[in-house]
């Protein structure tokens, strides 16, 4: 592997990229275990695909914001290193697929030239912080949450305490109580609030914690009805630190924050958060409200002279995709991107359109589309004409016709049956048979390739996830049908309920049955979820029961959407949460790396960082020694509580191991404490190595 010049001015970023290149080289030379390397590359946005030998690269876009220049840069990257395609995700990222591992450092370096990062886009980290795409222009918002989302993104990037969490950690900001960012399904969710304090208008947030999707979705709980704006970063940091210490690490299926809250309860969790306060570098963090701006488009003349060729189509687009902003005489324009897939040539042309008609502030939406902002009213006909030429002026953005789907079996290791193929089939049904539903924003259809809900099927009024059915003649690709999910507002929501499993090829008929039944029997103006509640789960099971019958299958039922060969399940190992490394030697090695990081941070006067690196060195070392006794704890808390019992008298700092290590949340992050704590961690690792050597010598002697 040849080295390259990063041409990155930021030394922290440059070192990050150089380290990735070095680790790739060590991995290929057999010097780095594959599991350890996997954890490292995931934290740098490099994700293994279903196809062997290539990677998916996830580009981290805080709250989905892009400039035209950045979009062009990403398109150039896809052309040079991938297949000329982009994929927009439900978490407002952009992914490119089929990238050679060797090329990922070079790719990353080129992205960073336009301030685009891969860091912590995957792995056991704080993932991309999402926000309502309309934040800043939403007529119903108390204030713009964008600067707050950006502040958290900047604050948590590369923080020592969130690089090796039990599992991923997701944060979202909604622009209003409508909760279009689905905060109720996040580890931390923030909804803006204002109140009068004396004669002053005070900003703050309702805070919800412990929500999550996955195979077992859980609704978030309310931590605060109102938390002052300067306290959201300290609270979030303390919550992440508690998750790091108490979260499950052995059983990845129980490793999310939602399971920790289920185990210890909200009140105990919040008490532990309060205990972390002394360790925080900041008890209050002011938010710069001017950090994110939307440069307005330059006037290009008299737009009204431009004619629209298809007036009826234009009106459908105008009424379903365009809304008036809170800023007078400006409009937000939603763009449907089918399945979130976009060619690089289209992306470049879209960047040109943004420059002409909108603010240089394009947002990726949670339903895998784009939102243009600050479009002058007079420019709408001309904008429509140019979008229509790119096939990006389809009506129904955010409606039932705008289906969300993960890539599924196209590229994901965990995909069971096709999610993209059935999505296209359902969109065709709506477009051809129910065209007026492009105005229906009550019903959302979301599809995942498996039960893990990357397509957010648990949030949908009508959801599907990939599955299979074993019958006498073989295996049939299948869909599990779920109904009744969605946001109810102000941090609350509903999880969709499983109704029935049907062969995938009958998915379009499922949709027809549901829509026809709703049209025939719902009360005028009745929302789908209200109708679902009134009828009850069993009613819908009986309605769809015949579609689940597998006694009379056709040959086509055994072939998945978009495929030609007979279906077979081929599920690999997913990488969304990384892989745990429990080998004793690897843990000691990692502890020594953490100690090196602690020293570097200490010398750089980054005392809080140094302290957390030293803490991690304590934990990795203690876990390694406990494993040597075949004692495997699944949490930091368990390691801290058990070490002194099993090593009593072997290593005896004045305060004992637990009390020594837990000085981290008792002492302020001062220079003196950082130095003392580092020396204590170093002494502990030195002793651990001597202990291991002595044990090894005894075992060798016993063998002789």
pLDDT band, residue 575 (cuts 50/70/90): low
In a domain, 290, yes or no: no
In a domain, 203, yes or no: yes
pLDDT band, residue 648 (cuts 50/70/90): confident
Name the token pair of 516.
């026809």
- Residues 92, 191: one domain? no
Q: What is the pLDDT of residue 581?
A: 36
> Could you tell me the sign of the dihedral formed by the alpha carbons of 19, 25, 31, 33, in that order?
positive
The domain total for the chain is 5
pLDDT band, residue 700 (cuts 50/70/90): low
Average pLDDT over residues 576-598: 70
pLDDT band, residue 1 (cuts 50/70/90): very low
- Residues 138, 265: one domain? yes
Q: What is the pLDDT of residue 701?
A: 59
Cβ count near 264 (within 10 Å): 15
- Residues 472, 540: one domain? yes
- Residues 217, 359: one domain? no
In a domain, 572, yes or no: no
The CATH number covering residue 526 comes to: 3.30.413.10
- Residues 339, 252: one domain? no
In a domain, 546, yes or no: yes
- Residues 432, 550: one domain? yes
Terminal-to-terminal C-alpha distance of the chain: 44
Name the token pair of 192.
């803006």
In a domain, 531, yes or no: yes
Residues of the chain above pLDDT 70, percent = 93
Q: What is the pLDDT of residue 305?
A: 61
- Residues 340, 273: one domain? no
The CATH number covering residue 598 comes to: 1.20.120.330
pLDDT (tens digit per residue) in 161-174: 998 899 999 999 99
pLDDT band, residue 588 (cuts 50/70/90): confident
The CATH number covering residue 358 comes to: 3.30.70.3340
In a domain, 239, yes or no: yes
Strand pairing class (171-173; 130-131): parallel
The CATH number covering residue 95 comes to: 3.90.480.20
Average pLDDT over residues 310-336: 94
- Residues 321, 243: one domain? no
pLDDT band, residue 579 (cuts 50/70/90): very low
Question: Which domain range does residue 610 map to?
Answer: 584-703
CB proximity list for 651: less than 8 A, separation 6 or greater: 657, 684, 687, 688, 691
Is the per-residue pLDDT at 580 higher than 50? no
- Residues 419, 489: one domain? yes
pLDDT (tens digit per residue) in 431-487: 999 999 999 999 999 999 888 888 899 999 999 999 999 988 889 999 999 999 999
pLDDT (tens digit per residue) in 226-251: 999 999 999 999 999 999 999 998 88
Average pLDDT over residues 189-200: 93
> Where does a domain end: 261, 279, 297?
279
- Residues 408, 549: one domain? yes
Helix pair angle (311-321, 380-389), 10° resolution: 100
- Residues 71, 183: one domain? no
pLDDT band, residue 384 (cuts 50/70/90): very high
Q: What is the DSSP letter of 283?
A: S
Is the per-residue pLDDT at 577 higher than 60? no
In a domain, 123, yes or no: no
> Where does a domain end: 358, 389, 420?
389
Name the token pair of 274.
């309060």
- Residues 419, 379: one domain? no
CA distance 149 to 4: 34
pLDDT (tens digit per residue) in 596-609: 999 999 999 999 99
Is the per-residue pLDDT at 494 higher than 50? yes
pLDDT band, residue 627 (cuts 50/70/90): confident
In a domain, 365, yes or no: yes
> Where does a domain end: 389, 417, 439?
389
């Amino acid at each position: 592997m040849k080295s390259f010049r990063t041409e990155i001015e930021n030394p922290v970023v440059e070192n990050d990229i150089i380290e990735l290149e070095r680790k790739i080289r060590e991995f290929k030379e057999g010097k780095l275990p594959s599991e350890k390397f996997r954890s490292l590359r995931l934290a740098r946005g490099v994700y293994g695909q279903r196809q062997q030998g290539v990677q998916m690269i996830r580009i981290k876009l805080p709250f989905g914001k892009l400039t035209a220049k950045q979009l062009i840069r990403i398109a150039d990257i896809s052309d040079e290193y991938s297949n000329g395609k982009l994929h927009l995700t439900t978490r407002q990222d952009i992914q490119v697929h089929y990238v050679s591992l060797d090329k990922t450092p070079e790719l990353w370096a080129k992205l960073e030239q336009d301030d685009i990062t891969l860091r912590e886009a995957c792995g056991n980290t704080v993932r991309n912080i999402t926000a309502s795409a309309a934040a800043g222009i939403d007529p119903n918002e108390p204030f713009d949450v964008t600067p707050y989302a950006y502040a958290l993104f900047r604050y948590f990037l590369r923080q020592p305490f969130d690089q090796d969490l039990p599992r991923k950690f997701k944060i979202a900001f909604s622009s209003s109580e409508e909760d279009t960012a689905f905060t109720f399904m996040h580890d931390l969710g923030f909804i803006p609030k204002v109140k009068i304090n004396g004669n002053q208008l005070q900003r703050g947030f309702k805070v919800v914690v412990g929500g999550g999707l996955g195979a077992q979705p859980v609704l978030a709980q309310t931590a605060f009805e109102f938390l002052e704006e300067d306290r959201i970063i300290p609270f979030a940091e303390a919550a992440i630190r508690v998750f790091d210490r108490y979260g499950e690490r052995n059983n990845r299926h129980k490793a999310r924050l939602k399971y920790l809250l289920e185990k210890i309860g909200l009140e105990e969790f919040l008490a532990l958060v309060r205990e972390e306060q002394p360790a925080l570098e900041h008890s209050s963090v002011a938010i710069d409200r001017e950090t994110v701006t939307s440069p307005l488009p330059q006037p290009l003349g008299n737009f009204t002279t431009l004619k629209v060729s298809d007036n009826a189509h234009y009106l459908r687009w105008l009424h379903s995709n365009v809304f008036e902003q809170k800023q007078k005489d400006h409009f937000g324009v939603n763009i449907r991107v089918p399945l979130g897939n976009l060619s690089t040539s289209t992306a470049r042309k879209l960047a040109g359109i943004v420059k002409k008609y909108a603010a240089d502030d394009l947002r990726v939406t949670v339903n895998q589309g784009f939102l243009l902002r600050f479009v002058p009213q007079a420019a709408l006909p001309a904008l429509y004409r140019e979008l229509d030429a790119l096939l990006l002026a389809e009506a129904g953005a955010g409606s039932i016709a705008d289906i969300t789907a993960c890539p599924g079996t196209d590229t994901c290791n965990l995909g069971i049956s096709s999610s993209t193929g059935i999505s296209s089939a359902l969109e065709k049904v709506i477009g051809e048979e129910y065209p007026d539903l492009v105005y229906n924003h009550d019903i959302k259809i979301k599809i995942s390739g498996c039960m893990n809900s990357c397509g957010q099927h648990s949030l949908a009024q009508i959801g599907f996830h990939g599955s299979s059915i074993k019958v006498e003649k073989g295996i049939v690709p299948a869909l599990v049908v779920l109904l009744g999910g969605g946001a109810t507002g102000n941090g609350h929501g509903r999880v969709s309920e499983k109704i029935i499993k049907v062969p995938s090829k009958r998915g379009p008929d499922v949709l027809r049955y549901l829509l026809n039944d709703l049209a025939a029997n719902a009360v005028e103006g009745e929302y789908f979820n209200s109708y679902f509640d009134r009828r009850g789960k069993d009613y819908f099971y009986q309605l769809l029961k015949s579609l689940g019958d597998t006694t009379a299958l056709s040959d086509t039922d055994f072939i998945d959407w978009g495929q030609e060969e007979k279906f077979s399940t081929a599920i690999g190992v997913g990488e969304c949460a990384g892989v745990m490394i429990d080998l004793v030697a690897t843990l000691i090695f990692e502890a020594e790396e953490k100690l090196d990081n602690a020293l570097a941070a200490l010398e750089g006067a980054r005392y809080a960082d140094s302290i957390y690196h030293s803490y991690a060195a304590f934990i990795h070392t203690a876990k390694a020694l406990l494993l040597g006794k075949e004692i495997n704890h699944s949490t930091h808390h368990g390691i801290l509580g058990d070490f002194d019992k099993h090593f009593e008298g072997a290593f005896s700092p004045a305060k004992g191991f637990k009390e020594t290590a837990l000085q981290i949340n008792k002492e302020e992050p001062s220079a003196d404490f950082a130095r003392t704590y580092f020396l204590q961690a170093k002494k502990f690792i030195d002793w651990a190595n001597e202990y291991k050597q002595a044990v090894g010598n005894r075992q060798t002697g016993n063998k002789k």
